[in-house]
Amino acid sequence: MTTAPDLDPYLLPMPTPASPVVLPHLACAVHAHLNGRYRDPVWPLAPLTENPSARRPKIHWEKWPSCFREEMRLAAWNLVNGQLRPTFLRSRSSRMRGRLSAPEAHAVTERWRHLAAWLEQRGIRRLADCTAGVLHDYAQRARDAGHSRSHVMKTLAALSRLWAFDELSASPAGIGRPPWEELGIDGYLPAADHGRGENTTEPLAEQTMGPLLIWAMRMVEDLSGDILAAWAERQRLISAARATTGTPAGHAALEAYLRPLIDGGAPLPSTRRNGRAALADQYIAGITGTTPGQIDWFTKANRLTAADADLSGPCPLDVPVTGAIAGKPWRAALDFNEAPSLMRHLGTAAFIVCGFLTGMRPGEILGLRTGCCPDPVPGPDGRTGRHRIRGLEFKTATDEHGNHVSAGAERDVPWVAITPVVNAVRVLERMVPDGHLLFDHHAHDLGGARPGTGSLQPPVVGRRIKDFVAWANREAASHSLPGEAIPADPHGGVGTRRFRRSLAWHIARRPSGLVALAIQYGHMRTAFDTWASEGYGNRSRNGIHELIELETALATADTAAALREDLEAGGGISGPAARRAIRAAAAASRFAGTPITLAAARKLLKNEDAMIYDNPHALVICH
């Protein structure tokens, strides 16, 4: 008796036109409804991710050369649903994964598309004619095109994936084996460059960072109560207007409210509609108990248009103003029309506070949910510990096979949350329903309903930060606080990725702190050191400590280099540790213009002779 051989789990079936783009066992439940079919002209890759703030890319097949469309469609389907053999991965970089995330898969197919376009230009119209020699020419072209070493490496890795998945295909196209698979990849790469990473991201300038943090914390701690109350009242008025039916009493109330304003020539409550001034019908309906239809009739009967009436009046809400700026009430009254933009700025302010004062990556902040920062419970000794934020880590979350886990993985060690961060989380918890994401887009997109799930995305938050800066500067001008205006950063837009680097920069270089809320930075450093014995100094999934180590190494190298330049210019240094400082300065040239990796940073930090620290506001260098 014979038995059938075991099926190879890595060989892929042949899809049909009706096959799903992402097979059911790989489709994440939260985005499974977005799945497409193999025959569709556009393939959504959203079903591959559960990350609430991740991009949800699509493959648009009409952009591909028609001669390669069907072959590449099958190759892309194999990429999305297949997994590279462990034997293939074993001999390659430890960072190469058997299965990719949605953004990575999309990036790989884009590189395939560029190859297809190049092949078509050369008169090659099928993958079987893309031989090792052709791939050699393409790789040399990529190497000599002026791209970074990392960019070319990713291009060649994508082509290796194309060949490897073709080997697993139910209908192999027969693409040639990339020559770098046999000869090695170094000959096909440009010279090493500095690369890009968090430690090459410019920290925010102190003159920008200080007032930005002041306004963000002011919004969260001093103004949020008024803003949330105004938003609740606005929503109440809108609901009341929608639920009202037309009655004579409502008409009488409308007449009693508007007639004195009309007769007195006073500005009428207004709003902007399609770019034009118009009577604020929702507001008026809510406060008078009438219907939009009755207001429309009243408007026409009394010629209440921008040409015939003063439609510039405010829409004050019946909520007390308790917040203050510079010791004075920040508003005479909260306005119906301003409430949505204030809520938008409030959410942005909360993100800024969390981004500056925790060290979390943008995706980690956007992945937080209500309840992530519970109040600490007193211990057996009666002492209450620090607040901690429990959340997910996405960037390096992998499963037991080393594949990316799009849903993220809970951090083994939570983040320490200082008081301003706790306040920001509490405000966000009032903005969204229980159990939801703190930045759930349904709660933060106040201009109108948008389909889809998840949180705001980093590019959206980046644009909102720009708007927040503009708003804060207008407020600074209106409250006669020119010293609290937020100047433009010399290195460009604030963005979301620069907060984390800025925190590390200030912890490493300004431990005493000169920017606004620098004492909070000092508390952050104390918190890190205090909790080190409990594991906070060794976060298993790339916490802020690694970035602080890099920044500290850069700071000490910069200090040594500056001292060397001073000594060469005729300067001097004295004191018990002067000789050791001079030795450190002499070695500084080894670090000039050199990108410091984490391994190099740790090696440098272990060298006691190299560890000199500058206090820019005193005539002293510490060893």
Cα separation, 256 vs 250, whole angstroms: 10
Least confident window among 114-118, 260-264, 297-301, 552-556 = 552-556
Q: Say whether both 534 and 563 belong to one domain.
A: no
208 pLDDT more than 50: yes
Regarding predicted confidence, which is higher, 306 or 495? Answer: 495
SS3 353: helix
Last residue of a domain, one of 487, 519, 540: 540
Q: Say whether both 146 and 258 belong to one domain.
A: no
pLDDT of residue 58: 95
pLDDT of residue 431: 96
Name the pTM for this structure: 0.73
In a domain, 198, yes or no: no
474 pLDDT more than 80: yes
pLDDT of residue 245: 84
Mean per-residue pLDDT over the chain, rounded: 82
Averaged pLDDT, 180-197: 76
pLDDT of residue 452: 64
Token digits of residue 129? 């004619």
Q: How far is CA 177 from the centre of its chain?
A: 38
Q: Say whether both 62 and 88 belong to one domain.
A: yes
Given CA atoms 557, 558, 563, 569 in this order, what sign does their dihedral have? positive
The CA–CA distances, whole Å, from 221 to 341, 353, 425, 505 equal 18, 11, 11, 25
In a domain, 203, yes or no: no
For the segment 489-545, what is each residue's pLDDT rounded down to a tens digit?
988 888 888 887 777 666 666 544 333 334 344 344 444 444 443 333 333 334 555
Residue 482 pairs with which residues in a beta bridge?
Answer: none
Q: Which of 361, 393, 399, 391 is CA-nearest to residue 100?
A: 399
442 pLDDT more than 80: yes
The residues near 329 (Cβ < 8 Å, ≥ 6 apart) are: 321, 323
**Domain extent at residue 585:** 545-622
Least confident window among 129-133, 172-176, 412-416 = 412-416
Least confident window among 46-60, 209-223, 539-553 = 539-553
Stated as kind and residue range, the H or E segment containing 44 is: strand 42-44
Give residue 377's pLDDT band: very low, low, confident or very high (50, 70, 90): confident
Q: Say whether both 367 and 294 belong to one domain.
A: no
Give residue 304's pLDDT band: very low, low, confident or very high (50, 70, 90): confident
In a domain, 45, yes or no: yes
Side-chain half-sphere CA neighbours of 509 within 13 A: 21
In a domain, 134, yes or no: yes
Cα separation, 159 vs 178, whole angstroms: 7
Pick from 118-127, 239-248, 309-318 the range whose average pLDDT is largest. Answer: 118-127
Pick from 8-22, 378-392, 568-582, 607-621 the range whose average pLDDT is largest. Answer: 8-22
Residue 613 pairs with which residues in a beta bridge?
Answer: 622
Q: Say whether both 148 and 285 belong to one domain.
A: no
Last residue of a domain, one of 540, 571, 603: 540
35 pLDDT more than 90: yes
pLDDT of residue 513: 39
Last residue of a domain, one of 141, 175, 193: 193
Q: Say whether both 126 and 162 belong to one domain.
A: yes
367 pLDDT more than 50: yes
Cα separation, 556 vs 614, whole angstroms: 8
In a domain, 499, yes or no: yes
223 pLDDT more than 60: yes
Cα separation, 316 vs 319, whole angstroms: 9
For the segment 69-96, what is each residue's pLDDT rounded down to a tens digit?
999 999 999 999 999 888 888 767 666 7
Sole residue written with tokens 């400082």: 581
Cα separation, 251 vs 124, whole angstroms: 76
Q: Say whether both 151 and 266 belong to one domain.
A: no
The residues near 367 (Cβ < 8 Å, ≥ 6 apart) are: 51, 52, 53, 391, 392, 394, 408, 437, 455
Stated as kind and residue range, the H or E segment containing 103 is: helix 102-121
For the segment 6-23, what is each residue's pLDDT rounded down to a tens digit?
567 889 899 999 999 999
In a domain, 175, yes or no: yes
For the chain, what is the radius of gyration of the CA atoms? 30
Q: Say whether both 149 and 180 belong to one domain.
A: yes
Averaged pLDDT, 208-212: 90
pLDDT of residue 620: 47
Q: Say whether both 363 and 452 belong to one domain.
A: yes
Q: Which of 373, 416, 410 is CA-nearest to residue 392?
A: 410
pLDDT of residue 45: 94
In a domain, 222, yes or no: no
Sole residue written with tokens 């690369």: 195
Q: Which of 235, 297, 306, 238 is CA-nearest to residue 274?
A: 306
| Percent of the chain whose predicted confidence (pLDDT) is above 70 | 76
- Find out whether 538 and 545 touch, Cβ atoms under 8 Å: yes
* Total count of residues recorded for the chain: 623
pLDDT of residue 246: 82
What distance, in Å, lies between the first and last C-alpha atoms of the chain? Answer: 80
> CATH number of the domain that 398 lies in?
1.10.443
240 pLDDT more than 80: yes
- Find out whether 38 and 20 touch, Cβ atoms under 8 Å: yes
129 pLDDT more than 90: yes
Q: Say whether both 461 and 474 belong to one domain.
A: yes
Amino acid at residue number 123 = G
Give residue 162's pLDDT band: very low, low, confident or very high (50, 70, 90): very high
Give residue 134's pLDDT band: very low, low, confident or very high (50, 70, 90): very high
Q: Say whether both 409 and 482 belong to one domain.
A: yes
Q: Say whether both 419 and 287 belong to one domain.
A: no
Q: Count up the domains in the chain and report the number.
A: 4
Cα separation, 108 vs 443, whole angstroms: 34
Give residue 567's pLDDT band: very low, low, confident or very high (50, 70, 90): low
SS3 276: strand
In a domain, 2, yes or no: no
Regarding predicted confidence, which is higher, 414 or 349? Answer: 349
205 pLDDT more than 90: no
Averaged pLDDT, 478-484: 94
Show the 3-state SS of 62-83: HHCCHHHHHHHHHHHHHHHHCC
pLDDT of residue 296: 86
- Find out whether 200 and 501 touch, Cβ atoms under 8 Å: no
pLDDT of residue 568: 63
Q: What are phi and psi of 388, to 5 degrees?
A: -130, 140
Averaged pLDDT, 560-586: 62
Given CA atoms 498, 501, 504, 508 in this order, what sign does their dihedral have? negative
Regarding predicted confidence, which is higher, 462 or 307? Answer: 462
pLDDT of residue 292: 83
Give residue 585's pLDDT band: very low, low, confident or very high (50, 70, 90): low
Token digits of residue 527? 């918190």
